A and B are shown apart, each in its own frame.
Chain A
Amino acid sequence: MSRDVVVLGVGMHPWGKWGRHFVEYGVHAARAALADAGVEWREVGFISGAATMRCGYPGYVAGATFAQALGWQGAEVNTSYAACASGSQALAAARAKILAGDCEVALVVGADTTPKGFLAPAKGYRPDDPDWVRFYVGITNPTYFALYARRRMALYGATEQDFTAIKVKNAAAGVHNVNARYRKAFSADEVMSSAMVADPLRLLQICATSDGGAAVVIASAAYAKRLGVKRPVRIAAISTVTPRFASGEVEMPDIATDSAVAAEAHSFRASIALKAYAEAGIGPEDVSLAEVYDLASSMELDWYEYLHLCKTGEAEGLLRSGATAIGGRIPVNPSGGLASFGEAVPAQALAQVCEVVWQLRGAAGARQVKKAKVGITANQGLFGHGSSVLLKR
């Protein structure tokens, strides 16, 4: 089909707290993805970078920065910034370029070097910036995760043991992932005895910030055919929708929701995957695995529902049944998730795609999901950014 864009290659730089320049991680990942694809860098017609806001000007123009580091070769360039969804937007730009017939093969790269501790806003007295205001009054990222978690406990009977079980599940998968930062299994006791950060969430239930890099090489179906690639993984859909007014949930970094006086309240996160399913003509019942944004372990429960893997209020039951562990009916975060990686913002959405591609190829080793045919990713972050990528083989 002409609308098919295929994934030829994926690659990563292992996540960690390496303290080196982000370009090094990006180029490492890019070279790995090109090698995986069997494509020479000079063949690439479009390079699409996911930007980082923490590494100075080279980070703001990440596409060109990576192109220069790989060696200028005249490719067209793009840089995308969309918080957690940056990688997906960079991927969407590359896919659009191929679908438009402007190029045949594109390279998408995201990488970051992160500071220690809480992510903090830009400096100065800036009351017009909601991100500044919320930090001034003491509201950090875990505040939002914890508000959602406590709400689940009150509405659906989620427990601290459930949140802990997700950390334990994802850490157990991450042990088998060479690119994960934490390759350590955790017991429920260890998680439950870690320090309280934002009640009811504890330190080991909240993801860290990491250094890392991820890259994806995509191409037209015709190009893949000429290369002789058999049964490549295909991009079935990409969703980068914005919220709908009135946004009914408190979203980072806002102090208040929209007022739903004149328009019905909508859930942004619940809308992200719906667009991907609709575009692909694939339903949640067809999904073999999902990679979701477990910024906090508790948020994985929300994603079960937002991806329609179960009905609203049934996520706890799905978790407790074992369905979302490797070997279960619908494994979630077989990569180990953010629990094992920590977040490297511009690389994370691409890392999710890398994992799904390895799973669909049957190349995920000890964390392989059996008979994986369709995989979906989902993430959401600051200022109404979110994305979902559907891949199939």
Chain B
Amino acid sequence: MTDRQRRAAIEGWYTLEKDQPHLLGSRCVACGTFFFPKLSTFCRNPVCDSTAFESVPLSRTGRLWSYTSASYQPPEPYVAAVPFVPFAIAAVTLEHEKMTVLGQVVEGCGVDQLQVGMQMELVVETLHQTEALDVVVWKWRPLGALTGSAS
């Protein structure tokens, strides 16, 4: 397969490296709270007055807090393949940031391959395609699994 051009589904939320991509968050320089998506205005910690943030890549790995599937086709703006291909969804807790982030699970990995507490890692994979390019998004996959690496 020739390499198709890729574009982020949501600009600025994650890096696009095929190897070891990151979610892009921000961190309050005063209280240390992380934010995803990025925050650049006022810290949401009610005891912190800060308006200064630094951009930070978030941890690439975390523990599976819970998971489910999208067995029915979601409504727009989701762009579904024809026919619709069900996918799994993961909520992954990042230990360092003490936050849980949702995302699709990579293609080919169903709920039967998931277990609460297992280690997951971040990848970037196609969300949907246009004629010219692949529109890519962050997804989760079991750490060390071989599925979903090609995109």
Contact = CB atoms under 8 A, between A and B. Distances in A.
Contacts of B66: 147-148, 150-151, 154
A195 B71 contact: yes
Given A147-B91, A258-B44, A138 B74 contact: yes
Contacts of B117: 154
Contact of B98 (A142, A201, A265): A265
Contact of A256 (B28, B67, B99): B99
B143 interface: no
A263 B47 contact: yes
A246 B44 CA distance: 9
A262 B71 contact: no
Given A139-B102, A256-B100, A199 B69 contact: yes
26 contacts: A118-B72, A120-B76, A125-B77, A133-B37, A135-B75, A135-B76, A136-B10, A139-B102, A147-B65, A147-B89, A150-B66, A150-B68, A151-B116, A196-B71, A197-B72, A198-B71, A199-B69, A245-B44, A250-B100, A256-B36, A256-B99, A256-B100, A260-B98, A261-B31, A261-B98, A262-B28
A137 B9 contact: yes
Nearest to A115: B75
Contact of A262 (B31, B77, B127, B137): B31
Contacts of A262: 28, 31-33, 45, 48
Interface residues of B, number: 48
Interface residues of A, number: 47
Given A150-B116, A151-B65, A259 B98 contact: yes
Contact of B32 (A117, A136, A198, A261): A261
B10 A133 contact: yes
B70 interface: yes
A259 B26 CA distance: 11
Task: Sort A-B residue pairs by CB-CB distance and give the 3 closest, nearest first.
Answer: A146-B68, A154-B116, A259-B34
Given A257-B100, A260-B98, A132 B71 contact: no
A188 B137 CA distance: 39
Contacts of A261: 31-34, 97-98
Interface of A: 117-118, 120-121, 123, 125, 127, 130, 132-140, 142-143, 146-151, 154-155, 195-201, 245-246, 250, 255-263, 265
B7 to A, nearest CB: 13
Nearest to B139: A137
Contact of B75 (A117, A245, A258, A265): A117
B11 interface: yes
Given A136-B127, A198-B71, A261-B97, 19 more contacts: A120-B75, A123-B77, A135-B75, A136-B77, A137-B137, A138-B89, A139-B70, A140-B70, A140-B74, A142-B68, A143-B70, A146-B68, A150-B116, A154-B117, A199-B71, A245-B44, A257-B100, A258-B33, A260-B99
A311 to B, nearest CB: 21
B103 interface: yes
Given A256-B100, A259-B35, A135 B68 contact: no
A138 B78 contact: yes
Nearest to A248: B100
A261 B97 CA distance: 6
B126 interface: no
Interface string B13-49: 1000000000000001001111111000000111110
Nearest to B44: A245
A118 B45 CA distance: 33
